[in-house]
């Protein structure tokens, strides 16, 4: 342990990382909203959790907040999502160039425990892992939207407020979503994960409308700061299975961490090489790059839980309501990664996540606006699609 690590008190709330991601999440307690107690999805989920303690409550919003996030992560809430569970990604409308991604909220919270996870801040007051069982209603919102916007093509994901597959051995939402998107002509589903729970999906009829993506990081960061997630090798092994089943595979290098200097990008280049050792470029739908950024209160929350973490030591400066690396550091960090990726994958399959036009200009000057990234990524997938009529976006 470094002297700096000695400098802060070790108030460990967690034991060192154990690779539990190959085991399904087993909540200690399940709270069931009375309104969904008889919902078929609730019953199906409870059948998967036979030995789990559960309670039906009148109003899940009135549940006492567990005293800390680690305790909250061991509890699950089954409820319904009222309102709009299908919305634009938070990157849209900011100062960034954005790929016009849309998100579906089916789960909020995550049993995994990454030091940099923004949910520590976003879900501070509501930290239990919450599952919205009214998936059919939510998908019906999606169907209506897609049908009203039939001339546009959409990339839609579920991994904004939680891992798309970490709970899937229990909730099995992916088995509902993949056939749903298989029947849609103008959208593709992306399931983002750090888990390996893909075996139950391999035989589903996906019609090339599903991409399963993995968040990628260096083995060192995975080991030190991505608790209860699959290792790099395990993620690549799962990706190979998905690719062999004919589904698209994506990778998101996000967050890319710079602790001291951009020389650390060499470690990410090795991870890129690992990907291409295991997969053919044609099997990869897209790869994104995103440097660490976070809400201003996150380091304080995270370092209380993980005193040993050194993730927040790069040169971060305020940018809107977030902190991010200095622009010229970001440019310098992206450049070798972009160039290396470009040597392996067509540039239209590579994008920066939530980056400013100024940084894009340095990395790929051909990208001039949101629609440009959107079109490139949609075209990536459209090549494989068997359309009756091509959407106008192409």
Partner 1 sequence: MLLQYLNVSSLNIADDSYRITFAPELEELKRSVKVAGIIQPINVRHTPEGTYQIVTGYKRVLVMQELERQSIPALIHEPNDLSPTQAFLWSLHDNAVARSLNLIEKSVALTKLNQFYQMSEDELAKQFLPLIGEEPSFKILHQLMSLDSLTEPVKTHVVKSKVALSSASRMSEFTPSTQQALLGVLSHINPSTNKLNELLALLREISARDGLTVEDILSRYQLLQVVVNPTATSADKVSALRQALRGIRLPQLTERQKQLAHLIQGLELPTQAKVVADPYFENKNMKLECQFSHPEELDSVIKKIQAAFEKQKWQEIFEWYRT
Provide the binding-site residues for partner 1, judged by CB under 8 A.
2-4, 6-9, 64-65, 67-68, 124, 259-260, 299-300, 303-304, 307, 309-310, 312-313, 315, 317-319, 326-329, 356, 358
* Residue whose CB is less far from partner 1, 310 or 379: 310
Give the three-class secondary structure for 324: strand
Nearest distance, CB of residue 256 and partner 1, angstroms = 17
Nearer to partner 1, 328 or 387 (CB): 328
For residue 41, give the nearest of 125, 142, 137 by alpha carbon.
137
Instruction: Please state whether beta strands 29-33 and 75-79 pair in parallel, antiparallel, or not at all (unpaired).
Output: parallel
Report the candidate in 199, 322, 329 with the shortest Cα–Cα distance to residue 264: 329
- In the complex, what is the shortest distance from the CB of residue 218 to partner 1, in angstroms, rounded to a whole number? 17
* Location of structure tokens 């800390």: 68
Residue placing its CB nearer to partner 1 in the complex, 61 or 390: 61
Nearer to partner 1, 172 or 308 (CB): 308
H/E stretch holding 323 reads: strand 322-325
Minimum distance from residue 5 beta carbon to partner 1 (Å): 8
Q: State both tokens at 153.
A: 């093509």
Query: Smallest distance, Å, CB 62 to partner 1?
Result: 12
Residue 115 CB-half CA count within 13 A: 27
DSSP assignment of 187-256 equals: EEEEEEESS-TTGGGTTS--TT-EEEEEEE--HHHHHHHEETS--HHHHHHHHHHHHHTT-EEEEEEEEE
**Residue number with CB closer to partner 1 (319 or 379):** 319
- What stretches of 54-126 show up as alpha helix (H) in DSSP? 69-72, 119-122
Least distance from partner 1 to the Cβ atom of residue 288, Å: 21
Give whichever of 80 and 294 is closer to partner 1, judged by the CB atom: 294
Instruction: State the minimum distance, in angstroms, from the CB of residue 181 to partner 1.
Output: 37
**115 versus 288: smaller Cβ distance to partner 1:** 115
- Please, are residues 178 and 189 in contact by the beta-carbon 8 Å criterion? yes
As measured in angstroms, the least distance from the Cβ of 114 to partner 1 is: 17
Query: Min. distance of Cβ 291 from partner 1 in angstroms?
Result: 13
Residues 6+ positions from 193 with CB-CB distance below 8 Å:
159, 163, 164, 165, 166, 212, 213, 214, 215
Q: What's the token pair of residue 55? A: 């309670």
320 is written with which tokens?
């809107």
Backbone phi, psi, residue 99, to 5°: -95, 10
Q: Tokens representing 338?
A: 């972009």
278 is written with which tokens? Answer: 């295991």
Name the minimum Å distance from CB 121 to partner 1.
Answer: 12
Q: 256 pairs with which residues across the strands? A: 291
Residue 223 C-beta: closest distance to partner 1, Å:
17
Question: Beta strand pairing status for 350-352 and 322-325?
Answer: unpaired
Of the pair 7, 58, the CB lying nearest partner 1 is at: 7
Q: What is the DSSP letter of 352?
A: E
The verdict on whether omega for the bond into residue 255 sits within 30 degrees of 0, i.e. cis, is yes
Residue closer to partner 1, measured from CB, 115 or 229: 115
Q: How, if at all, do strands 248-256 and 284-291 pair?
A: parallel
Q: Is 16 or 64 the residue whose CB approaches partner 1 more closely?
A: 64
């Amino acid at each position: 342990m470094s002297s700096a690590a000695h400098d802060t008190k070790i108030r460990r709330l967690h034991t060192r990382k154990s690779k539990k991601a190959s085991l399904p999440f087993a909540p200690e307690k399940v709270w069931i909203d009375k309104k969904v107690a008889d919902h078929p999805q609730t019953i199906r989920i409870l059948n998967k959790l036979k030995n789990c303690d559960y309670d039906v409550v009148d109003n899940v919003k009135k549940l006492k907040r567990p005293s800390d996030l680690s305790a909250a992560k061991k509890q699950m809430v089954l409820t319904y999502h009222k309102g709009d569970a299908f919305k634009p990604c938070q990157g849209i409308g900011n100062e960034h160039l954005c790929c016009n991604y849309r998100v579906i909220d089916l789960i909020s919270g995550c049993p995994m425990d990454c030091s940099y996870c923004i949910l520590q801040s976003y879900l501070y007051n509501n930290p239990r892992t919450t599952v919205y069982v009214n998936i059919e209603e939510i998908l019906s919102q999606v169907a209506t939207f897609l049908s009203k916007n039939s001339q546009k093509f959409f990339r839609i994901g579920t991994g904004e407020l939680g891992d798309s597959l970490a709970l899937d051995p229990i909730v099995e939402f992916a088995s509902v979503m993949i056939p749903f998107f298989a029947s849609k002509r103008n959208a593709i589903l992306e399931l983002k994960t750090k888990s390996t729970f893909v075996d139950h999906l391999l035989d589903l009829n996906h019609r090339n409308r599903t991409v399963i993506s993995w968040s990628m990081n260096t083995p060192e960061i995975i080991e030190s700061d991505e608790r209860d997630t699959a290792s790099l090798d395990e993620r690549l092994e799962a990706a190979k299975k998905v690719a062999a089943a004919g589904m698209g595979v994506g990778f998101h290098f996000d967050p890319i961490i710079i602790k001291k200097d951009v020389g650390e990008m060499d470690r990410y280049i090795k991870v890129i090489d690992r990907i291409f050792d295991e997969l053919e470029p044609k099997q990869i739908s897209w790869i994104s790059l995103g440097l660490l950024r976070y809400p201003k209160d996150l380091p304080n929350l995270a370092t209380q839980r993980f005193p040993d973490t050194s993730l927040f030591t790069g040169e971060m400066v305020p940018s809107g309501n977030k902190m991010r690396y200095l622009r010229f550091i970001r440019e310098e960090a992206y450049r070798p990664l972009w160039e290396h990726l470009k040597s392996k994958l067509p540039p239209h399959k590579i994008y920066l996540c939530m980056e400013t036009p100024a940084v894009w200009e340095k990395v790929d000057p051909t990208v001039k606006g949101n629609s440009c990234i959107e079109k490139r990524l949609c075209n990536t997938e459209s090549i494989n699609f068997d359309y009756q009529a091509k959407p106008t976006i192409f």
